[in-house]
Structure 1
Amino acid sequence: MATQGSPFQIELVVDTTMTTSNVCSHSDSFSNHQHSTSFSKLLMSVLTRFHAGYFRISLSLGSQVLLWKTVMTSAQDKTTLPHVLSTLPSVAVYALWSFSLFTLVLLSLLYLLRCFFFFKMVKVEFLHPVGVNYFFAPWISWLLLLESAPFVAPKTTLYMVLWWVFAVPVVVLDVKIYGQWLTKGKRVLSSAAGNPTSQVSVIGNLVGAQAAAHMGWKACALWLFSVGMVHYVVLFVTLYQRLSGRDGVPVLLRPVLFLFIAAPSVASLAWESIVGTFDTASKMLFFLSIFLFLSLQIMQKK
């Protein structure tokens, strides 16, 4: 027994294992929270800077895939292309198509996130006379990948369904843009049609016509081709009047002048797909694109 007056002795036992584990768990959760916060900030930063103009990447890749698929198809005829091109492995074309599809899907997902989180910025971009033209780019890219798809043949149900999914937005954008030109007067026409990016809308109609011709839908292809060419004439005259020199176009838009080549080139291919042969009209459009290319080269050197 303890004597009276002696102090009580208290033994304090500290479980260091539990304390260490709690500290580690808290530190891990804190670091995970920091990582998630930094990732969210990075994603928001990317989405605020991302715009529809980035679909030019998928547009160029899709054009390259369609070009190489055409080369591979024509390489079977030894009289049209050298024998070296006929030995080009088809795996390379499939790899390029897969990479283009991955790029387009990634860009589409990013823009869908931008529409969800920053819809007001998308609306401002849609109302901009230059930015609205790039809304055609993703649908053109999908149509190009559809035409060059190695696993989807024309005249199949899947091809037709995908064509409707990708072509209808092009027509809707046509109605929106060209309706403004007709209803809001000359000022809107000069500001909207007076920049070279407006030719992207024409290319959308022509690519849709080419894809429809591959399915055998000649009437639908002629309709899209007619709409595209009529508006191309309007754009060409409007831009030609503005381009009395390079002073009429801002510096940032001068590289877009090479869309002058794209529209008649795609029109030549679309008309060849509609009539089934590279006739006089296709040759005229092809020679027009060559002439415009030489004109732009001379203009850039001045």
Structure 2
Amino acid sequence: MKIIMDTKESQKNHFSSILSRFHAGYFRISLSLCSQALLWKTLSDPSDDIHKIRNIFRMLPSAAFILLWSLALFSLISLSSLYLLRIFFHFDMVKREFLHHVGVNYLYAPWISWLMLLQATPFFKHEGVCFFILWWIFIVPILALDIKIYGQWITKGKRFLSGVANPTSQLSVIGNLVGARAAAEMGWNESALLLFAIGMSHYLVLFVTLYQRLPGSSSIPAMLRPVFFLFLAAPSMASLAWNSIYGKFDSSSKMLFFLSIFLFLSLVSRPALFKRSMRKFNVSWWAYSFPLTVMAMASTKYAQEMKNTASHILMLLLSALSVIVSLVLMIFTALHSTSLLPCDADDSMHCISINQRTSIV
């Protein structure tokens, strides 16, 4: 009897340990998988683009897309369930995460994931009641976070933007842009414009702040440097959102897409920046996949508008790169599943130990 009780206590402690080490940064995985599902849907959707390269993507089996969508849904439900349990059993850690200059931005990630998965769904139309209800459920938390975080940037002493800005701050912008795109697909252009205006106004200020690298601003550790790729995601998603609102990939969308291409080339030309973060597998590696996938989605709309071979080759290259990176990350995650929840100073986010130590970033 004592052995059984000790075993149960050990299992309980192990589960509690998992919840204490789990954090919102793990939603990078769902961001990547949900955006991949949306990319595959975008590539396979019927359009007036009859270029032979685009026709290659239309040959993708629908079963493969449904399998990917189901995998994304499973990962998102699993991560969301774990985080709900973390809220219930370790609310103090969630509260510290909310007050953390990096952690608070990843609270947008689950809602962004749900919105992207909603747009990729093959089971009901975007103009239907289900889409409308789910859109409201997922957009309200984003707006609540906007009011809290953007209000702090403007008014609150140590929470001024110049003091807390870091690359993950762009997730707040991306959340509004994803919501704007989903609203535009429902035909709610006024709501889409509202969210687009909120996102882009704060993106402009944030982009300038991050470029200035003001003294005293919050930095990120070496293990978190893959999040620099979020610089690509914001303008790429903005181009997609504006395309859905305006109904055409016009000059504004093209400029935003070209900006993401320029930032991508700027980052890949500096491999030394990411050298330390690549020494040991970490969940932060998933930060590479989502921005590349969003940029690939933007390239599909660009190719559809331009209808020339060069734009379709660019679409093919970016889409292939996005898929390859996602596959490699899935393989590495499967191979290192036992060490996916580290608790040391190199953790990709901030690992709060069982004895309530201060977060480490």
Classify the TM-score, shorter chain.
0.7 to 0.9
**Is 1:261 the counterpart of 2:245 in the alignment?**
no
Question: Structure 2 vs 1, CA of residues 82 and 178 (structure 1 numbering), >3 Å: closer, same or farther?
Answer: closer
| Alignment partners' CA distance in 1, 2:173 and 2:112 | 10
Higher relative contact order (CA 8 A, sep 6+): 2
SS in 2 for 1:81: helix
Shift of 1:113: 0.7
The structure that has the greater radius of gyration is 1
- Unaligned regions of 5+ residues in structure 1, if any? 1-28
Contact 1:243 1:249 in 2 (8 A): no
CA contact (8 A) 1:55 1:134 kept: yes
Residues 152-191 of structure 1 mapped to structure 2, 5 A cutoff: 152-185=124-157, 188-191=160-163
Q: Which amino acid aligns with 1:263?
A: A
Displacement, 1:155? 1.3
Residue 77 of structure 2 is matched in structure 1 by 105
Q: Deviations over 1:268-294 (max 9, x none)?
A: 101000011111111111101001111
- Structure-1 separation of matches of 2:18 and 2:159: 34
Contact 1:146/1:152 (<8 A) preserved: no
Equivalents in 2 of 1:162, 1:35: separation in Å? 42
Q: 1:290 aligns with which of 261, 272, 285?
A: 261
Which residue pairs with 2:270 in the alignment?
A: 299
Structure 1 residues 80 and 74, CA, compared in 2 at 3 Å: closer, same or farther?
farther
- Is the 2:119–2:182 contact (alpha carbons within 8 Å) kept by the matching residues of 1? yes
Q: Give, in angstroms, the shift of residue 41 of structure 1.
A: 1.8
Give the structure-1-normalised TM-score: 0.84
- After TM superposition, give the deviation of residue 187 of structure 1 in Å: 6.1
Aligned to 2:311: none
Residue aligning to 1:229: 200
Displacement, 1:78? Answer: 3.5
Matches within 5 A, 1:241-280: 241-242=212-213, 250-280=221-251
1:88 matched to 2:60: yes
Give the letter for the 2:169 counterpart. S
- Cα deviation, 1:163-184, whole Å, max 9, x if unaligned, reads 0000010010001001001112
Q: Which runs of 5+ in 2 are unaligned?
A: 274-361
- Cα RMSD over matched residues? 2.1
The question of whether the paired residues in 2 share the 8 Å contact of 1:129 and 1:191 is answered with no
- Whichever residue aligns with residue 241 of structure 1, its letter is Q
The 2-side partners of 1:74 and 1:268 are apart by 20
1:130 to 102, 125, 136: 102
Q: Which residue of structure 2 lines up, in the alignment, with residue 14 of structure 1? A: none
Question: 1:196 aligns to what?
Answer: 167
